[in-house]
Amino acid sequence: MIEGKVVTIGEILVEIMATTTGNGFLEPQPLIGPFPSGAPAIFIDQVGKLGHAAGIVAAVGDDDFGTINLDRLKQDGVDISAVAVHPGAATGSAFVRYRPDGSRAFVYNMRDSAVGRIAATPEAETLLASAGHLHVMGSGLPVPAITGMVRSTLPTLKARGGTVSFDPNIRREMLRDEGGKAIFQSVLAATDLFLPSGEELSLFTGETDEGRAVTALLDAGVKEIVLKRGEAGSSHFDRSGRTDMPGFVVAEVDPTGAGDCFGATFLVARRLGRSVSEALRYANAAGARTVSVQGPMEGSSTFSDLDRFIAETPVRA
């Protein structure tokens, strides 16, 4: 493993949440927010919060929504030199409302926002050249500019001893398109740390049995797999075997960002030399703290926060 920043590429947006439950936004209702958000932004903010060098390639508008995101990222130690600020453009946004069954309804402004203007600027190329690790978010791979930067960065990063993590974060239909499937498979082939949730193991292997799916991914060259199991905890797989870690008992307030904080914490812990078990415990704690607070980045954690949380919070039996 080489030194250098953990870098990611993708969307920065604000999240605005309905305080009522229901299906969508077809009538006026009270809202709370805006909260800094966007899966890559949440991930890299957690990396910075843990004290690791971090940076993001992204784009925002020159509006209040962009400002609160950039202020939060900078406050938490993230290099924002490759975040382009586009005059006159709107920062991306997501309006969220919980349905009675706990699922969520979204209204996004992404494609026509500054998110749609992410590009391989000179600042982006400089930041990517400084990376010791690239974190790829599957949600951004359908965007041609993001795919282009990922594809151009992977060979040079790997050639100098850098590493790659991949959180697929995808919908099943993305893999039905041959072009989309090829992009995801090319990233997976370069992946050192794979961070799937639930059925994403089978999506990439075609295996419904967890053990066979894990074996197929390890045979394909993935070095470590960390399966996020939500409130049940997590599991780590590599050639030496399997490690399971139970989740923590917390009251869920807002699950947005939990998986991103989990992945960032596991990655940083491992880069700092922590054991698999320690890294899983810290990652589970980071995800649990996140779901217990309203707002995707509001529950991000330092290692001191996590140590205190682990000491005070029971684990699931």
Q: Which residues contact 245 (CB under 8 A, 6 or more apart)?
A: 233, 234, 235, 236, 277, 280, 281, 284
Structure confidence by residue, pLDDT tens digits, 228-248: 999 999 999 999 999 999 999
Domain boundaries, the chain: 5-312
Cβ distance 93 to 108 under 8 Å? yes
* pLDDT computed for residue 184 by the predictor: 84
* 71-77: average pLDDT: 98
Predicted confidence band of residue 180 (pLDDT cuts 50, 70, 90): low
Structure confidence by residue, pLDDT tens digits, 5-49: 999 999 999 999 999 999 999 999 999 999 999 999 999 999 999
* pLDDT computed for residue 175 by the predictor: 60
> What is the distance between the alpha carbons of residues 214 and 237, in angstroms, rounded to a whole number?
7
> What is the distance between the alpha carbons of residues 230 and 255, in angstroms, rounded to a whole number?
9
Predicted confidence band of residue 199 (pLDDT cuts 50, 70, 90): confident
Structure confidence by residue, pLDDT tens digits, 246-297: 999 999 988 899 999 999 999 999 999 999 999 999 999 999 999 999 999 9
> What is the distance between the alpha carbons of residues 261 and 133, in angstroms, rounded to a whole number?
16
Predicted confidence band of residue 179 (pLDDT cuts 50, 70, 90): low
> What is the distance between the alpha carbons of residues 148 and 262, in angstroms, rounded to a whole number?
27
Structure confidence by residue, pLDDT tens digits, 142-158: 888 999 999 999 999 99
Q: Is the pLDDT of residue 90 over 70?
A: yes
- Complete DSSP assignment for the chain: ---SEEEEE---EEEEEESS-SSSSSS---EEEEEEE-HHHHHHHHHHHTT--EEEEEEEESSHHHHHHHHHHHHTTEE-TTEEEETTPPPEEEEEEE-TTS-EEEEEE-TTSGGGG----HHHHHHHHTEEEEEEEGGGTTSHHHHHHHHHHHHHHHHTT-EEEEE----GGGGTSHHHHHHHHHHHHT-SEE--BTTHHHHHH---SHHHHHHHHHHTT--EEEEE-GGGEEEEEETTEEEEEEPB----S--TTHHHHHHHHHHHHHHTT--HHHHHHHHHHHHHHHHTSSSTTTT---HHHHHHHHHHSPBP-
* pLDDT computed for residue 111 by the predictor: 83
* pLDDT computed for residue 317 by the predictor: 77
Sign of dihedral through CA atoms 84, 268, 290, 198? positive
Give the CA-trace dihedral at 78, 83, 89, 91, to 10 degrees. Answer: -30
* pLDDT computed for residue 171 by the predictor: 61
* pLDDT computed for residue 272 by the predictor: 95
Domain at 5-312, CATH class: alpha beta
Predicted confidence band of residue 176 (pLDDT cuts 50, 70, 90): low
Quick one: what percent of the chain has pLDDT higher than 90? 79
117 burial via Cβ count (<10 Å: 0-12, 13-18, 19+): middle
CA 284 remoteness from chain centre: 14
Q: Is the pLDDT of residue 173 over 60?
A: no
Mean pLDDT of the chain: 93
Number of alpha carbons in the 13 Å side-chain half-sphere of residue 111: 3
